[in-house]
Amino acid sequence: MQSTYRAVVTYLDRLLDRLVVFRPSHRSAPIWKLTIASLLALAFLVRSFYGHVLSVDVFLLPVLLAAALFRNQGLLIIPLAAAAYCLGGLLCNGIDNRHLFLNTLGQVVEWGLLCGFGLVTLDRYGTIKRLQARMANDVELARRLQLALMQNRFELGTVALRGKVKQTLEVGGDFYYFRPFGQKYVVFCLGDVMGKGISASLLMALVMGFMFEWGKKSPSPSFVLRKLNQRLIQWNQQQSTFVTMFYAVYDEEEERLYFANAGHPAGLLLRTDGRVEPLEGTGIPLGVLEESEWGENQTHIAGGERLLMYSDGLLEARDQHGEDYGMDRLSASLQATQKLSLEKALAQIESDVRSFCQDRLSDDLAILVMERT
Protein backbone atom coordinates (compact mmCIF):
# COMPACT_ATOMS: atom_id res chain seq x y z
CA MET A 1 0.00 0.00 0.00
CA GLN A 2 2.79 2.40 0.94
CA SER A 3 4.74 1.60 -2.25
CA THR A 4 1.61 2.26 -4.34
CA TYR A 5 1.10 5.60 -2.61
CA ARG A 6 4.72 6.58 -3.28
CA ALA A 7 4.37 5.56 -6.93
CA VAL A 8 1.24 7.70 -7.35
CA VAL A 9 2.88 10.69 -5.64
CA THR A 10 5.99 10.29 -7.81
CA TYR A 11 3.89 10.11 -10.97
CA LEU A 12 1.89 13.22 -10.05
CA ASP A 13 5.09 15.08 -9.16
CA ARG A 14 6.64 14.24 -12.52
CA LEU A 15 3.41 15.21 -14.31
CA LEU A 16 3.40 18.57 -12.54
CA ASP A 17 7.07 19.03 -13.40
CA ARG A 18 6.28 18.55 -17.07
CA LEU A 19 3.36 20.98 -16.86
CA VAL A 20 5.53 23.64 -15.23
CA VAL A 21 8.27 23.50 -17.84
CA PHE A 22 6.03 22.76 -20.84
CA ARG A 23 5.72 25.49 -23.45
CA PRO A 24 4.19 24.98 -26.90
CA SER A 25 6.86 25.01 -29.58
CA HIS A 26 6.70 27.26 -32.62
CA ARG A 27 5.17 24.40 -34.59
CA SER A 28 2.73 23.15 -31.96
CA ALA A 29 1.51 26.57 -30.75
CA PRO A 30 -1.05 26.99 -33.59
CA ILE A 31 -2.41 23.51 -32.87
CA TRP A 32 -2.86 24.31 -29.18
CA LYS A 33 -4.48 27.65 -30.01
CA LEU A 34 -6.88 25.91 -32.39
CA THR A 35 -7.70 23.35 -29.69
CA ILE A 36 -8.43 26.10 -27.15
CA ALA A 37 -10.54 27.99 -29.70
CA SER A 38 -12.49 24.81 -30.42
CA LEU A 39 -13.12 24.24 -26.72
CA LEU A 40 -14.23 27.85 -26.36
CA ALA A 41 -16.62 27.48 -29.34
CA LEU A 42 -17.96 24.23 -27.89
CA ALA A 43 -18.55 25.96 -24.56
CA PHE A 44 -20.42 28.76 -26.38
CA LEU A 45 -22.68 26.23 -28.16
CA VAL A 46 -23.39 24.31 -24.98
CA ARG A 47 -24.35 27.52 -23.15
CA SER A 48 -26.48 28.68 -26.07
CA PHE A 49 -28.60 25.51 -26.07
CA TYR A 50 -28.31 24.11 -22.56
CA GLY A 51 -27.31 27.10 -20.46
CA HIS A 52 -30.56 26.98 -18.47
CA VAL A 53 -29.82 23.45 -17.18
CA LEU A 54 -26.02 23.65 -16.79
CA SER A 55 -24.57 23.38 -13.29
CA VAL A 56 -20.89 23.53 -14.31
CA ASP A 57 -18.78 26.25 -15.90
CA VAL A 58 -17.96 24.92 -19.38
CA PHE A 59 -15.73 27.93 -20.10
CA LEU A 60 -13.35 27.16 -17.27
CA LEU A 61 -11.39 24.43 -19.13
CA PRO A 62 -10.33 26.52 -22.16
CA VAL A 63 -9.58 29.53 -19.93
CA LEU A 64 -7.32 27.57 -17.56
CA LEU A 65 -5.70 25.64 -20.42
CA ALA A 66 -4.81 28.87 -22.21
CA ALA A 67 -3.34 30.38 -19.05
CA ALA A 68 -1.35 27.21 -18.26
CA LEU A 69 0.11 26.87 -21.75
CA PHE A 70 0.69 30.50 -22.70
CA ARG A 71 1.00 32.06 -19.23
CA ASN A 72 0.30 35.81 -19.28
CA GLN A 73 -0.55 35.86 -22.98
CA GLY A 74 -3.14 33.19 -22.32
CA LEU A 75 -5.09 35.61 -20.12
CA LEU A 76 -6.27 37.32 -23.32
CA ILE A 77 -8.81 34.54 -23.61
CA ILE A 78 -10.79 35.93 -20.68
CA PRO A 79 -12.49 38.81 -22.58
CA LEU A 80 -13.23 36.40 -25.45
CA ALA A 81 -14.73 33.91 -23.04
CA ALA A 82 -16.75 36.71 -21.41
CA ALA A 83 -18.15 37.76 -24.78
CA ALA A 84 -19.03 34.15 -25.64
CA TYR A 85 -20.57 33.66 -22.20
CA CYS A 86 -22.72 36.79 -22.54
CA LEU A 87 -23.76 36.05 -26.15
CA GLY A 88 -24.58 32.44 -25.29
CA GLY A 89 -26.79 33.66 -22.48
CA LEU A 90 -28.65 35.99 -24.82
CA LEU A 91 -29.28 33.18 -27.31
CA CYS A 92 -30.49 30.69 -24.70
CA ASN A 93 -34.24 31.01 -24.23
CA GLY A 94 -34.28 29.41 -20.81
CA ILE A 95 -31.97 31.93 -19.13
CA ASP A 96 -33.19 35.00 -17.28
CA ASN A 97 -31.06 37.78 -18.81
CA ARG A 98 -32.03 40.56 -16.42
CA HIS A 99 -28.74 40.16 -14.54
CA LEU A 100 -26.66 38.85 -17.44
CA PHE A 101 -24.10 41.66 -17.24
CA LEU A 102 -23.51 41.13 -13.53
CA ASN A 103 -23.29 37.37 -14.01
CA THR A 104 -20.76 37.83 -16.79
CA LEU A 105 -18.74 40.22 -14.64
CA GLY A 106 -18.77 37.68 -11.84
CA GLN A 107 -17.50 34.99 -14.20
CA VAL A 108 -14.71 37.27 -15.40
CA VAL A 109 -13.62 37.92 -11.80
CA GLU A 110 -13.74 34.18 -11.04
CA TRP A 111 -11.69 33.26 -14.12
CA GLY A 112 -9.19 36.00 -13.39
CA LEU A 113 -8.69 34.90 -9.79
CA LEU A 114 -8.34 31.23 -10.72
CA CYS A 115 -5.89 31.98 -13.53
CA GLY A 116 -3.91 34.37 -11.35
CA PHE A 117 -3.71 31.83 -8.54
CA GLY A 118 -2.70 29.12 -10.99
CA LEU A 119 0.01 31.21 -12.63
CA VAL A 120 1.47 32.27 -9.27
CA THR A 121 1.43 28.65 -8.09
CA LEU A 122 3.13 27.40 -11.25
CA ASP A 123 5.72 30.17 -11.05
CA ARG A 124 6.56 29.43 -7.41
CA TYR A 125 6.58 25.70 -8.04
CA GLY A 126 9.02 26.26 -10.88
CA THR A 127 11.20 28.40 -8.59
CA ILE A 128 11.18 25.69 -5.92
CA LYS A 129 12.10 23.03 -8.47
CA ARG A 130 14.99 25.13 -9.77
CA LEU A 131 16.24 25.63 -6.22
CA GLN A 132 15.89 21.90 -5.56
CA ALA A 133 17.83 21.11 -8.72
CA ARG A 134 20.54 23.57 -7.72
CA MET A 135 20.67 22.08 -4.24
CA ALA A 136 20.80 18.56 -5.67
CA ASN A 137 23.77 19.60 -7.82
CA ASP A 138 25.49 21.11 -4.78
CA VAL A 139 24.84 17.96 -2.73
CA GLU A 140 26.17 15.79 -5.56
CA LEU A 141 29.29 17.94 -5.70
CA ALA A 142 29.64 17.64 -1.91
CA ARG A 143 29.27 13.86 -2.20
CA ARG A 144 32.00 13.63 -4.82
CA LEU A 145 34.29 15.89 -2.78
CA GLN A 146 33.64 13.85 0.34
CA LEU A 147 34.50 10.62 -1.46
CA ALA A 148 37.61 12.29 -2.89
CA LEU A 149 38.79 12.93 0.67
CA MET A 150 38.66 9.19 1.39
CA GLN A 151 40.64 6.92 -0.91
CA ASN A 152 39.45 3.34 -0.91
CA ARG A 153 42.91 1.79 -0.98
CA PHE A 154 46.40 2.53 0.31
CA GLU A 155 49.66 0.59 0.33
CA LEU A 156 52.97 1.63 1.82
CA GLY A 157 55.77 -0.76 2.56
CA THR A 158 54.34 -3.63 4.56
CA VAL A 159 50.99 -1.94 5.31
CA ALA A 160 47.86 -2.24 3.17
CA LEU A 161 44.53 -0.52 3.84
CA ARG A 162 41.09 -0.80 2.23
CA GLY A 163 38.12 1.36 3.11
CA LYS A 164 34.42 1.78 2.27
CA VAL A 165 31.81 4.33 3.31
CA LYS A 166 28.07 4.01 2.74
CA GLN A 167 25.92 6.98 3.68
CA THR A 168 22.18 6.65 4.24
CA LEU A 169 21.82 10.12 2.71
CA GLU A 170 23.84 11.60 -0.14
CA VAL A 171 26.47 12.80 2.32
CA GLY A 172 27.14 12.01 5.96
CA GLY A 173 29.50 12.09 8.90
CA ASP A 174 31.26 8.71 8.82
CA PHE A 175 34.86 8.90 7.61
CA TYR A 176 38.28 7.31 7.63
CA TYR A 177 41.74 8.73 7.05
CA PHE A 178 45.23 7.38 6.42
CA ARG A 179 48.62 8.78 5.51
CA PRO A 180 52.32 8.03 5.97
CA PHE A 181 54.18 9.79 8.76
CA GLY A 182 57.95 10.10 8.80
CA GLN A 183 60.02 7.16 7.58
CA LYS A 184 58.40 4.28 9.46
CA TYR A 185 54.90 5.22 10.58
CA VAL A 186 51.50 4.86 8.96
CA VAL A 187 48.67 6.90 10.51
CA PHE A 188 45.06 5.81 10.08
CA CYS A 189 41.77 6.32 11.85
CA LEU A 190 38.01 5.91 11.50
CA GLY A 191 35.48 8.31 12.99
CA ASP A 192 31.84 9.22 13.21
CA VAL A 193 30.44 12.75 13.44
CA MET A 194 27.17 13.08 15.32
CA GLY A 195 24.25 13.50 12.95
CA LYS A 196 23.67 12.92 9.26
CA GLY A 197 23.47 14.83 6.03
CA ILE A 198 25.14 18.06 4.99
CA SER A 199 25.89 19.41 8.47
CA ALA A 200 27.64 16.17 9.46
CA SER A 201 29.62 16.08 6.21
CA LEU A 202 30.82 19.67 6.70
CA LEU A 203 31.99 18.90 10.22
CA MET A 204 33.64 15.72 8.91
CA ALA A 205 35.63 17.79 6.39
CA LEU A 206 36.60 20.18 9.19
CA VAL A 207 37.79 17.30 11.38
CA MET A 208 39.84 15.85 8.54
CA GLY A 209 41.43 19.26 8.09
CA PHE A 210 42.32 19.35 11.80
CA MET A 211 43.74 15.83 11.50
CA PHE A 212 45.93 16.85 8.58
CA GLU A 213 47.13 19.77 10.67
CA TRP A 214 48.02 17.81 13.81
CA GLY A 215 48.44 14.25 12.51
CA LYS A 216 51.76 15.18 10.89
CA LYS A 217 53.22 16.66 14.08
CA SER A 218 53.37 13.63 16.36
CA PRO A 219 53.20 9.80 16.17
CA SER A 220 51.34 9.76 19.49
CA PRO A 221 47.59 9.02 19.15
CA SER A 222 46.77 10.54 22.55
CA PHE A 223 48.59 13.78 21.62
CA VAL A 224 46.71 14.07 18.31
CA LEU A 225 43.32 13.37 19.93
CA ARG A 226 44.00 16.00 22.58
CA LYS A 227 44.84 18.60 19.93
CA LEU A 228 41.83 17.65 17.84
CA ASN A 229 39.61 18.00 20.88
CA GLN A 230 40.96 21.46 21.66
CA ARG A 231 40.35 22.64 18.10
CA LEU A 232 36.81 21.23 18.13
CA ILE A 233 36.06 22.92 21.45
CA GLN A 234 37.30 26.25 20.08
CA TRP A 235 35.15 25.88 17.00
CA ASN A 236 32.13 24.36 18.74
CA GLN A 237 31.50 26.82 21.54
CA GLN A 238 27.91 25.68 22.07
CA GLN A 239 29.02 22.02 22.35
CA SER A 240 26.13 20.98 20.15
CA THR A 241 27.99 18.14 18.43
CA PHE A 242 30.75 15.62 19.03
CA VAL A 243 32.96 13.15 17.18
CA THR A 244 33.91 9.57 18.04
CA MET A 245 37.18 8.21 16.67
CA PHE A 246 39.52 5.23 16.73
CA TYR A 247 42.99 6.61 15.99
CA ALA A 248 46.04 4.42 15.35
CA VAL A 249 49.68 4.71 14.35
CA TYR A 250 51.57 1.67 13.08
CA ASP A 251 55.36 1.42 13.44
CA GLU A 252 56.60 -0.74 10.56
CA GLU A 253 60.06 -1.30 12.02
CA GLU A 254 58.87 -2.45 15.44
CA GLU A 255 55.65 -4.02 14.10
CA ARG A 256 53.71 -2.28 16.84
CA LEU A 257 50.37 -0.52 16.73
CA TYR A 258 49.76 2.47 18.99
CA PHE A 259 46.12 3.45 19.34
CA ALA A 260 43.66 5.57 21.31
CA ASN A 261 39.88 5.51 21.34
CA ALA A 262 37.59 8.53 21.73
CA GLY A 263 34.22 6.94 22.48
CA HIS A 264 34.30 4.75 19.34
CA PRO A 265 33.56 1.02 18.98
CA ALA A 266 36.63 -1.13 19.63
CA GLY A 267 38.78 -2.19 16.71
CA LEU A 268 38.96 -5.94 16.05
CA LEU A 269 42.36 -7.56 15.50
CA LEU A 270 42.37 -10.89 13.62
CA ARG A 271 45.39 -12.96 14.60
CA THR A 272 47.01 -15.54 12.36
CA ASP A 273 45.59 -18.35 14.50
CA GLY A 274 42.03 -17.10 13.88
CA ARG A 275 41.49 -15.42 17.25
CA VAL A 276 39.74 -12.03 17.27
CA GLU A 277 40.99 -9.55 19.87
CA PRO A 278 39.03 -6.37 20.58
CA LEU A 279 41.31 -3.35 20.96
CA GLU A 280 39.56 -1.67 23.83
CA GLY A 281 40.25 1.93 24.66
CA THR A 282 38.97 4.48 27.11
CA GLY A 283 38.04 8.06 26.51
CA ILE A 284 35.04 10.24 25.83
CA PRO A 285 34.15 11.56 22.34
CA LEU A 286 35.96 14.59 20.95
CA GLY A 287 34.41 18.01 21.39
CA VAL A 288 32.77 17.39 24.77
CA LEU A 289 35.21 18.51 27.47
CA GLU A 290 38.19 20.76 26.86
CA GLU A 291 40.60 19.17 29.36
CA SER A 292 39.97 15.57 28.37
CA GLU A 293 42.77 13.03 28.09
CA TRP A 294 42.90 9.77 26.16
CA GLY A 295 44.89 6.76 27.21
CA GLU A 296 47.29 5.28 24.67
CA ASN A 297 47.56 1.52 24.21
CA GLN A 298 49.76 -0.64 22.02
CA THR A 299 49.89 -4.13 20.59
CA HIS A 300 52.01 -6.20 18.25
CA ILE A 301 50.78 -6.84 14.71
CA ALA A 302 52.74 -9.42 12.73
CA GLY A 303 52.59 -10.33 9.06
CA GLY A 304 49.24 -11.69 7.91
CA GLU A 305 47.28 -10.14 10.78
CA ARG A 306 44.43 -7.72 10.18
CA LEU A 307 42.76 -4.88 12.03
CA LEU A 308 39.11 -4.02 11.37
CA MET A 309 37.73 -0.59 12.22
CA TYR A 310 34.08 0.31 11.70
CA SER A 311 31.35 2.77 12.67
CA ASP A 312 28.46 2.03 15.02
CA GLY A 313 26.10 1.85 12.02
CA LEU A 314 27.51 -1.63 11.38
CA LEU A 315 26.84 -2.95 14.89
CA GLU A 316 23.40 -1.32 15.02
CA ALA A 317 22.15 -2.71 11.71
CA ARG A 318 18.91 -4.55 12.56
CA ASP A 319 17.04 -7.46 11.06
CA GLN A 320 13.27 -7.67 10.59
CA HIS A 321 12.86 -8.73 14.24
CA GLY A 322 14.69 -5.67 15.56
CA GLU A 323 17.83 -7.57 16.60
CA ASP A 324 21.17 -5.79 16.22
CA TYR A 325 23.97 -7.23 14.10
CA GLY A 326 26.24 -6.96 17.11
CA MET A 327 29.85 -7.68 17.98
CA ASP A 328 29.58 -11.49 17.94
CA ARG A 329 28.35 -11.60 14.35
CA LEU A 330 30.98 -9.09 13.30
CA SER A 331 33.76 -11.14 14.90
CA ALA A 332 32.52 -14.30 13.18
CA SER A 333 32.30 -12.48 9.85
CA LEU A 334 35.87 -11.20 10.25
CA GLN A 335 37.13 -14.70 11.06
CA ALA A 336 35.44 -16.07 7.93
CA THR A 337 37.45 -13.66 5.74
CA GLN A 338 40.90 -14.66 6.98
CA LYS A 339 41.93 -16.36 3.74
CA LEU A 340 40.41 -13.73 1.47
CA SER A 341 42.17 -10.73 -0.02
CA LEU A 342 41.59 -7.37 1.63
CA GLU A 343 39.18 -6.25 -1.11
CA LYS A 344 37.16 -9.45 -0.88
CA ALA A 345 37.26 -9.42 2.92
CA LEU A 346 35.84 -5.89 3.05
CA ALA A 347 33.17 -6.72 0.47
CA GLN A 348 32.24 -9.91 2.35
CA ILE A 349 31.80 -8.11 5.67
CA GLU A 350 29.66 -5.41 4.06
CA SER A 351 27.58 -8.03 2.22
CA ASP A 352 27.02 -9.97 5.46
CA VAL A 353 25.75 -6.85 7.23
CA ARG A 354 23.48 -5.88 4.35
CA SER A 355 22.08 -9.38 4.10
CA PHE A 356 21.36 -9.40 7.83
CA CYS A 357 19.39 -6.15 7.75
CA GLN A 358 17.93 -6.83 4.28
CA ASP A 359 19.75 -3.77 2.94
CA ARG A 360 17.79 -1.45 5.25
CA LEU A 361 20.57 0.49 6.92
CA SER A 362 19.34 3.03 9.44
CA ASP A 363 22.71 4.72 9.95
CA ASP A 364 25.82 5.59 7.98
CA LEU A 365 28.33 2.78 7.58
CA ALA A 366 32.13 2.99 7.41
CA ILE A 367 34.62 0.11 7.30
CA LEU A 368 38.42 0.25 7.24
CA VAL A 369 40.62 -2.86 7.14
CA MET A 370 44.38 -2.73 7.75
CA GLU A 371 46.73 -5.64 7.10
CA ARG A 372 50.39 -6.20 7.84
CA THR A 373 51.58 -7.99 4.69
- Model confidence over 2-26: pLDDT tens digits? 567 777 777 777 777 776 677 888 8
Beta bridge partners of 309: 368
Beta strands in the chain (DSSP E): 153-156, 159-166, 174-181, 185-193, 243-251, 256-262, 267-270, 276-279, 297-300, 306-310, 365-372
Q: Which residue has the higher pLDDT, 109 or 146?
A: 109
Give the C-alpha separation, 167 to 165, whole Å.
6
- pTM for the model: 0.71
Q: In the prediction, which pLDDT does 238 show?
A: 64
Do residues 20 and 132 touch, judged by C-beta distance below 8 A?
A: no
Q: Which residue has the higher pLDDT, 236 or 36?
A: 36
Do residues 207 and 175 touch, judged by C-beta distance below 8 A?
A: yes
42: left (phi over 0), alpha (psi -120 to 50) or beta: alpha
CA nearest neighbour of 176 among 208, 206, 201? 208
Q: Count of alpha carbons within 13 Å of 121, Cβ hemisphere only? A: 12
| Topology at the third CATH level for domain 151-372 | Phosphatase 2c; domain 1 (3.60.40)
Q: Where in the chain is the domain with CATH 3.60.40.10?
A: 151-372
CA nearest neighbour of 186 among 245, 252, 253, 246? 252
Angle at which helices 60-70 and 100-149 pack, to 10 degrees?
Answer: 40
- Model confidence over 287-298: pLDDT tens digits? 888 888 899 999
